[in-house]
C-alpha cells in the first residue's frame, strides 16, 4: 500500500488575490491602530478583527480541491 499526502500547488498571484491581501493588511493596520492606545481590549473586539481578516482571506476561495495533487510519500 502506498502512503500519500495532499500537496497544494502554488497558486499564481492574481490582481484579485493581491487586492484581497491588501484589504486584509489595511483591516489589520486599522484594527491595530485602534487598539494600540488602549490598555484593555475585550476578547470580542479581537475576535471580531480576526474573523474579519479570516473572512477576507477565505472569500478568495483559497486552495480548491482541483489544485491538490496526491503525491506518494518520499517522491
- Residues 9-27 have pLDDT tens digits of 666 678 888 888 899 899 8
Residue 67 has pLDDT above 80, yes or no: no
Range in 6-10, 14-18, 25-29, 39-43 the model is least confident about: 6-10
* Gap between the terminal Cα atoms of the chain: 15
pTM of the model: 0.52
For the chain, the domains span: 15-29+43-61
Q: Is the pLDDT of residue 3 over 60?
A: yes
Long-range contacts of 64-68 (CB under 8 A, 24+ apart): 67/8, 67/9, 67/11, 68/6, 68/7, 68/8, 68/9
Band of residue 44 on the pLDDT scale cut at 50, 70, 90:
very high
Residues 42 and 32: their CA atoms lie apart, in Å, by: 13
Amino acid at each position: 500500500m502506498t502512503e500519500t499526502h495532499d500537496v497544494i500547488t502554488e497558486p499564481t498571484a492574481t490582481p484579485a488575490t493581491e487586492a484581497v491581501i491588501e484589504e486584509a493588511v489595511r483591516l489589520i493596520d486599522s484594527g491595530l491602530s485602534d487598539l494600540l492606545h488602549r490598555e484593555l481590549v475585550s476578547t470580542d473586539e479581537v475576535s471580531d478583527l480576526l474573523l474579519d481578516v479570516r473572512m477576507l482571506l477565505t472569500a478568495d476561495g483559497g486552495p480548491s480541491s482541483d489544485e491538490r495533487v496526491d503525491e506518494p510519500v518520499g517522491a
